[in-house]
Chain A
Amino acid sequence: MNIKTQTCGELLASYRWIADFFTENHLDLETAKNQTMSDYLASIADEQLEDLALDRDKVLSDFITFVTQMRELLGETAANRVDKLSILPGLNKEGEPEGFDRIDLYPSEIISIVGPTGSGKSRLLQDIEWTASGDTPTRRRILINDEVPDLKWRFSANNKLVAQLSQNMNFVMDLTCYDFLSLHAQSRLVQDAESVIQRILEAANELAGEPFSPHTHVTALSGGQSRALMIADTAILSTSPIVLIDEIENAGIDRRKALNLLLSKEKIVLMATHDPTLALIADRRLIISKGGIANVLDTTDAERRVLSELEIYDLKVQTLRRKLRYGERVDSL
C-alpha cells in the first residue's frame, strides 16, 4: 500500500489508527477521505495552517513516518523478537573488571538483582534499556540475539526494550479500569481490543487478593489491586520483551502467579529486590557491588528448599494479616 498515492479514506480502511494522527494534529479526516494526504494538505488555506501552527511539508513527512512506524510496530514483530539478551562485562566504579565473562538471558526466565541501595542496580538497568555498546560509564555491552542491537531500541517512542514496573503504582488519569485499558490498547494498535481488555481484567482479578470491577476507577484501587492490574496489563499489552520489576510488595497480590503470568508471555523478567523470597524465586541472581556485577549465582537446590520454607511463612503472615484486618483474634502463627 503506497502512502503517497492512496487516498486517506483508503488508508483508513486498512489502518484505523490513522484517525489518531488526524485527531492529534487537529486535521479533518472527513474532508481528507477522498484525497491523498498531500492533496488534502494543499487544499487547506495557509491562514488555517498558521492558526493550527502546522507546517505543510512537515505534516506530510510526519504522516509518512508515522504510518511507516506503525506498520513496523504491527507487522515487524519478528524483528522485535528478543530470543536472547547478552550482557558483556565492563568495569565497576573503581575501574576493576566485572566478575563474569558473559551473561545470556532468555525469555521466560527470572533473574533477580541484589545488592545494597546505590550499588549500581539502576545503572545496570539503564545499560540494558540503552543497549549500551561500551559507550556508558560502565563500558558494558549489550547484545540482542548475539548481535549489536538496532538503534531503534534507544530512541523510538513506541518500541521500548524494557517495561518498568515500579513500586509506586500511581495513576494520574482518573478513568475506570475499563477505559484505562482501552486507552492503552488503542495506543498499542490492538485489533480485538475488547477481548484483550477482558483477558487483562480476568488475569488481574486472579492475581489480586480482592476482586475489582471494570467500572472501578483506577485511582480507587488498593495497592495490591493496582499492582495486579499493572502486571496483567504489562504481560498482555506491553510489547517490551523485557520487564523490570522494582520489588513486589507482599500484600494483596499473589506474587508467584504474577511472575508466572509474565513468564507465560515469554518476557525476560529482571527483578531488583531486597526480599529473600523474590531473590530466591529467580533462576539466577546478579550480585551488584561497587557499581558492577560482582558475581552471578545460580539458585541451588538447597536454596530452593529454603524458598519453600520461606513461602510457608509468607503464607502464614498473609493469613495473619487478613484475620487481623477482619477483626478476628489470633492465638498462634
Chain B
Amino acid sequence: MNLVIVSGPPSSGKTSVILKTCDALKNSGHRVGVVKFDCLHTDDDKLYAAYGIPVKKGLSGALCPDHFFVSNIEEVVQWGIEEKLDILISESAGLCNRCSPYIKDILSVCVIDNLSGINTPKKVGPMLRSADIVVITKGDIVSQAEREVFASRVGQVNPRALTMHVNGLTGQGAYELSTLFYKDDLNLDTVKGMTLKFPMPAALCSYCLGETRIGDEFQQGNVRKMNWEQN
C-alpha cells in the first residue's frame, strides 16, 4: 500500500483536491481510501462515502489533532491494508500552524489556497515548510500576478517542494497530481518505528490538563509569558 499524508489550513481545498485526485486514481485502476482527522467536527467522511471511497474519520475532541494523528496512524494503516487499498490518503486540517503530521519517507502534501493572502506562507510552519508537494488551490479566483507572487512566497519557505496549481472545483491539475501519488515499488505494511518529520511543540501546562481559572497561581508546568520588551 502507498500512504499519502495531506494537510493544510482549514478550508484550503484539501477534500476537493483529494476527491478529484481519487477520480483520476480510480480511472487508472487503483483502489483508494481516505482517513479524515479533525478536531471538533467534519462532514468530509460523508462526502468521501458519497463518492464510493472507503473512509474512516477520527475526531480528536479535546486533544491536539496532530498528536491524535500520531497516536492513531498505525491502526489506520492496518485498516487500509485490510481494505486492500493501493493508496491510503490521510486528510488532516492543520489548526495551529505549528504542528505537522508528516512522517519521514512518506509522501507529504500541503494544500494551501491563493485566497489566504500572501503572508500566509510565512505564518504556516512545518506543515508547509517540510511538505514534499505543495498544492496551491483557488487560482481561478485571483489574478495571474497574485498567483505568481503567492507561488514565489511559497518558494521562499519551501524551495525544494514540487509546487503545483490545482483547481479544486474543476479538477484542473488533479490528474497530474495523481501521477505522483502512487509508486509501484512502494509497499508499506506498517509505520511503526518511523519518525515524524518535525517534532510537535512542547506543551503540557495546567491548561492542557483542564485548568480553566486565570491567574499566576493556577499556571503550572510549561508556562511562558509574552515578551514585553520586544513589543
Contact = CB atoms under 8 A, between A and B. Distances in A.
Interface of A: 20-21, 23-26, 50, 53-55, 58, 61-62, 65-66, 69, 122, 126, 130, 135-137, 154-158, 160, 163-166, 168-173, 180-181, 183-184, 187-188, 226, 230, 233-234, 237-238
B122 interface: yes
Interface residues of B, number: 48
Contacts of B146: 171-173
B221 interface: no
Given A61-B160, A137-B175, A226-B143, 14 more contacts: A24-B153, A24-B156, A50-B201, A55-B130, A58-B129, A62-B129, A62-B160, A69-B155, A126-B176, A156-B163, A168-B140, A183-B118, A183-B149, A233-B145
B176 A130 contact: yes
Contact of B118 (A164, A173, A234): A173
B31 interface: no
B126 A53 contact: yes
Interface in B136-178: 139-149, 151-164, 170, 172-173, 175-176
B155 A157 contact: yes
A187 B179 contact: no
9 contacts: A50-B201, A53-B125, A55-B130, A66-B155, A136-B175, A158-B155, A163-B148, A166-B140, A173-B118
A54 B124 CA distance: 11
B56 interface: no
B115 interface: yes
A170 B141 contact: yes
B198 A55 contact: yes
Contacts of B164: 154-155
Nearest to A184: B145
Given A163-B144, A171-B143, A172-B115, A157 B163 contact: yes
Interface of B: 27, 98, 114-115, 117-118, 121-122, 125-126, 129-130, 134, 139-149, 151-164, 170, 172-173, 175-176, 179, 198-199, 201-202
Contacts of B172: 122, 126
B176 A170 contact: no
Contacts of B157: 24-25, 62
A156 B152 CA distance: 10
Contacts of A170: 141-143
A58 B157 CA distance: 11
B175 A188 contact: no
Contacts of A54: 129
A126 to B, nearest CB: 6
A233 B147 CA distance: 13
Contacts of B201: 50, 53
Contacts of A180: 145
A238 B143 CA distance: 12
Contacts of A157: 134, 151-152, 154-155, 159, 161, 163
A155 B175 CA distance: 14
Contacts of B144: 163-166, 230, 233-234, 238
A184 B140 contact: no
A169 B142 CA distance: 7
B27, B126, B153, B175: residue with the most chain A Cβ atoms closer than 10 Å: B175
A62 B175 contact: no
A191 to B, nearest CB: 16
A172 B113 CA distance: 12
Contacts of A187: 148-149, 152-153
Contacts of B117: 172-173
